Structure 1
């Protein structure tokens, strides 16, 4: 009886994990497509960048609402509002790179391809090995806080070298976040597919921008 009960619980756990993974990756795919469409619209309309203050207020405000309503249908509305807003802020940035560099299209596509390879590779590794990466949570939290503050300083005081260092830090930190979040889904540390989607989306978004900045700095033709 005990063996049967344990086996039943194990099967239920596997089914729950598979459902969580399926829902997360389905929603992630939809939000990435929606965000890309919003970025494309912003580029087509040549919309100006809203600025750092509006971007931060919009991002953290929508992130708060997404988290607050993550257990209801409103959570889906806010996750699309958040990723759509981030897509709108991405469009002007991409236009800037396309206009500033003669090989801008190659830089964007290379950054996009690199982001895809890193995400698929790390997610595949976490899913295949089923290794628990919860031990890097503290390091990631501290690292992201330090990188965020350094990024603001680089922007406010116009320090190119610091900005590049922050981009390199974000590539490593966002890669760690992908491993951590995927591991959390597998091992039951994250059971809300809306919040899992947001975490992975933000990691992909920041990874792409960081790679793009590094590629432009070292391989951009003005």
Structure 2
């Protein structure tokens, strides 16, 4: 009985160490990729590069996402993560430039950036401190993101501003849920690869920021 108890304690300690290591590796890589994405976005803004368009953006995103998933267990997976986040930074630059060109553009961008940081840090801290299991949200998030993605495409191709705003609001809620879900996955062993955990959190932050930017920009407009 005593031996079993000791074994349980040892396993518990090992599991805690592995979780802490996974969290540390994930957040270190996430910080690095966010920094790199900011640099590529800055380059795009300085040179006033045009947005590549939705088709190229989707092909680049899903192609690099697939490549990262394939290489997630090798050192090349890290290179692929930087390629993905760097590419997404390039697509973000023209969007930010467009908002900065508005009369109150700098304020809109800073509000969206600040709100994104507060939401991410707050939800991450809550998931870690509470240690609640949010795995039950997986199915809902998958369906919700798919519906919002398709609705976003419809809003874009059929030029429906109202639907576009609704999609942005949906993405704010869905990305907030995804941050809780993925952080919980890391803590409870549902996600054991820090590269894929980084990608999920990065995509959540990226979509959260662009959605908030759209909403704040729309409601700040005097038109």
Q: After TM superposition, is the score higher than 0.5?
A: yes
Q: Check whether the contact 1:43–1:95 (CA below 8 A) recurs between aligned residues.
A: yes
Residue 129 (structure 1) aligns with: 130
Aligned counterparts of 1:6 and 1:194: Cα–Cα separation in 2 = 29
Secondary structure of the structure 2 residue equivalent to 1:105: helix
Partner residue in 2 for 1:98: 100
Query: How far has the Cα of 1:97 moved from its partner?
Result: 1.0
User: Which of 31, 48, 51 is matched with 1:49 structurally?
Assistant: 51
Aligned pair partner of 1:3 in 5, 9, 32: 5
Match of 1:171 in 2: 172
Q: Give 1:221 shift.
A: 4.8
3-state secondary structure, aligned to 2:72: coil
CA RMSD of aligned residues (A): 0.7
Summarize deviations over 1:46-89 as a string: whole Å, max 9, x none. 00000111100000000000000000000000000000000000
4+ residue segments displaced more than 2 Å: none
Q: What is residue 201 of structure 1 aligned with on the other side?
A: 202
Gaps of 5+ in 1: none
Instruction: Count how many residue pairs are aligned between Structure 1 and Structure 2.
Output: 221
* 1:74-153 correspondence runs (5 A): 74-99=76-101, 101-153=102-154
Whether the 8 Å CA contact 1:104–1:220 is kept in 2: the answer is no
| C-alpha contact (below 8 Å) 1:107/1:220 kept by paired residues | no
- Answer whether contact 1:167 1:213 (CA < 8 A) is retained: yes
> TM-score when scaled to structure 1?
0.99
